[in-house]
Chains A and B, each alone.
Chain A
Amino acid sequence: MIRVQALSKNFNNFQAVDQVSFEVQRGEVLGFLGPNGAGKSTTMKMLTCFIPPSSGTADICGFSILDNPLQVRAQIGYLPESAPSYDEMLVGEFLRFVGEIRGYSGKELQRRVSVVIEMTALGDVKDQMIETLSKGFRQRTSLAQALIHDPPVLILDEPTDGLDPNQKHEVRSLIKDMSEERTILISTHILEEVESVCTRAMIISAGKVVGYGTPDELMSQSLYRNSVTVSVNAADPTQLLKDFNELDFIYSVERVPEKRDGVITMRLYPQKKESIALQVEKYIFAQNMPIENFNVDRGRLDEVFRELTTTDQQ
C-alpha cells in the first residue's frame, strides 16, 4: 500500500508538486488526473525513487522512499511515461533482462516471462525487435516488464497512452483483474478511464490536490449532477419551457438544440442537485406528453475536471 505525506518537489523556482498527501490501500486503483504538467509524473518519479522529494515523504508497503529506496523499488512495478525500453532488444529478451535484474533465473525466470507475455498478449511479437513494434505493442511490452515480479504495488504512468480503443479496453480489463490483490496508482488524462477502472480519483493541478474522492463523489460536484435531459413531442416550446420552469423542484430549464421536427429537448436542473427523475416523469405522464428520450445525468467528470483545474490556476 502507498502512503504519501506532504510530498513536495521544486525545480529551482518552479513548484512542481506542492504538499501532496494521499493513501492507496490494497485492492484500490487510484486514478491520478490532471492537465499536462500538473505534477502527476513528478509525483510518480518520487514514489519510484527516481528523483528525491524536496520535502515530505512517502512509504510503500512500509518502506520509506527516503531510507529504503531499494526495498521500495522491489515492491513496485513501474511503467514510466511513454514506455521507454531498449530498442535493439527482442521483446522476450528484454523481459528476461528485467526478470534477471529482479533476481530471477532458470526455470522461474522462464515461467515469469511466459506468464507476463500471456497476460499482455505479446506472444506474437516475442521474438521481434522492440524498435520494430507499433506503439501499442511497445506500451504492452513496457507493461509486461512492470509485472514480471508480480509486484504488490503498480505505478503506471499513462498506461493506455497511444493504444487503439480495443487495446485500451484490454489494458483496462487487465488492470481491473489485477487490482484485487494489489495497490495500483495510474495517471491518465482520459476521463472515461477513471470511471471504468478507478475506485478513487485524485485531481491535481499546478502541483496541488484540488479534488479527491470516488469517481461518483467527484461527479456529484458537477453542474449536471442529477439533471434530466428529456425530449418530448410538443407544439409550443415557449409555453413548455415556462411550465417546467414553474415547477418547484426545478431550478432552471435549458433548451438543447434539436434536429428532429416537432421534438423539443430540454435539460432540467434540479434544486440542490437532488434527484428529480421520478418527479419529472410523473409530471410528464400527467401532462400526457409522448417522451422521445429521457436521460438522467450522473454528472460529468470532464466538467468537474475543467472547473477544478482552471479556476485553481488563476
Chain B
Amino acid sequence: MNGFYPIFKRELLAYFRSPVAYVFIIIFLAANAGCTFFLGNFYNSQQASLEIFFLFHPWLYLFLIPAVGMRLWAEERRTGTGELLLTFPVRLTTTVFAKFFAAWLFIGISLLLTFPMILTVNFLGSPDNGPIVTGYLGSFLMAGSYLAIASFTSALTKNQVISFILSVNICLVLVLLGWGVLSESLNAIFPVWISDFVSQFSFTTHFDAIRRGVVDLRDLIYFVSIIVIMLMLNVVVLESHKAS
C-alpha cells in the first residue's frame, strides 16, 4: 500500500481547493432538505424519524455522486497528470483505491453535514435513533457504490460529460431494478421469484433494509462487492487504455 496516503491526501485536498466542492456541498444539503421537506412532506408525516430523508437518497445520488466521480480519472487524462501519477512506483490498484477513498470521504463529509436533520427530529419528538444510525451507514455505503461506478466510467473517457452520463445511466438501471413498479409488472408476467431475483441487484432493495434499522450482512456484502468489482474494472480499464 505504498503511496496510498499521499495520493489519498492530495485528492481530498484537491476537492476543497476548488469551488466545486463548496458548490457541491451546498447543492447536496439543499437537495436533501428540499426533498425531505417539500417532496416528502416531512411535517405532515407526523413522524419523528428520518425515513423520508433517506427515502430520496437513491434518487439524489443518481445525479450528485456521478458529479463528484466524473472527474476522478477523466481529469487526470485530460491534464496529463495521469502520466505522472501512473509512473510513480505505486501499484495501480493502490492508486485507484486511494483516489476512490478520497472522493468517498468527501461525500461522507457532505453527508455528515446533514446532521441538523438528526437534531430536528430529536427536537420535534423522540425518534428511534437506531435506524437513523444504520440509515446513515447504509446511505454512505450506497454512495460508495455509486461512486465506484462513477470512478469506473471516469476511467473510460477523458470527457467528463460522457463519464457523467454513462454513470448516471448505469446507476439508474441499478436503482430501477428494485423499483416497485418494475417488480409489479414483472410479477404480472413471470413467477414472483423472478422479480425477487432481479431486485436483488438493486441499490434500493438493499438500502431499504438497512435504513429500516436491519443491518443484514448480505446487504453490506452487496454494497462492498459493488465497490470492489467496479474498482477492479476501473483498474482493468486503465490497464487496457495504456495498452492501446
Contacts and interface: CB of A to CB of B under 8 A. Distances in A.
Nearest to B90: A101
Contacts of B83: 45, 50, 80, 84
A82 B81 CA distance: 10
A33 B10 CA distance: 36
A11 B10 contact: no
6 contacts: A52-B242, A80-B80, A80-B83, A84-B83, A85-B81, A89-B14
A80 B84 contact: yes
B89 A86 contact: no
Contact of B6 (A49, A52, A78, A97): A97
Interface of B: 2-3, 5-7, 9-10, 14, 17-18, 79-81, 83-84, 86-91, 242-244
B243 A52 contact: yes
Contact of B87 (A80, A86, A103): A80
Interface residues of A, number: 30
A48 B91 CA distance: 14
A266 B160 CA distance: 62
Nearest to A131: B17
Contacts, number: 63
Contact of A89 (B10, B80, B89): B10
Contacts of B79: 84, 87
A73 B88 CA distance: 6
Given A12-B244, A97-B6, A49 B17 contact: no
B7 A86 contact: no
Contact of A84 (B5, B9, B81): B81
User: B80, B88, B243 — which one has the most chain A CB atoms within 10 A of its CB?
Assistant: B88
Given A73-B88, A80-B87, A86-B10, A11 B81 contact: no
A45 B89 CA distance: 14
Interface in A79-119: 80-82, 84-89, 97-98, 100-103
Interface in A264-307: none
B5 A100 contact: yes
A88 B14 contact: yes
A74 B89 CA distance: 5
Contacts of A74: 89
Nearest to B244: A11
A71 interface: yes
Contacts of A101: 3, 6-7, 88-90
A125 to B, nearest CB: 17
Interface of A is mostly: loop
Contacts of A52: 242-243
Contacts of A103: 2
Contacts of A45: 83
A102 B17 contact: no
Nearest to A49: B87
Contacts of B243: 51-52
Interface string A46-65: 00111110000000000000
A256 interface: no
Given A85-B81, A101-B3, A101-B6, A78 B87 contact: yes
A190 interface: no
Contacts of A73: 87-89
A80 to B, nearest CB: 4
A222 B81 CA distance: 40
Nearest to A53: B243
Shortest 8 CB-CB contacts between residues of A and residues of B: A84-B80, A100-B6, A88-B17, A73-B89, A74-B89, A48-B87, A80-B83, A84-B81
Nearest to B243: A52
Contacts of B17: 88-89
A49 B81 CA distance: 15
A265 B191 CA distance: 99
Contacts of B88: 73, 98, 101-102
Given A49-B87, A50-B242, A88-B18, 5 more contacts: A52-B242, A70-B89, A84-B81, A85-B81, A97-B9
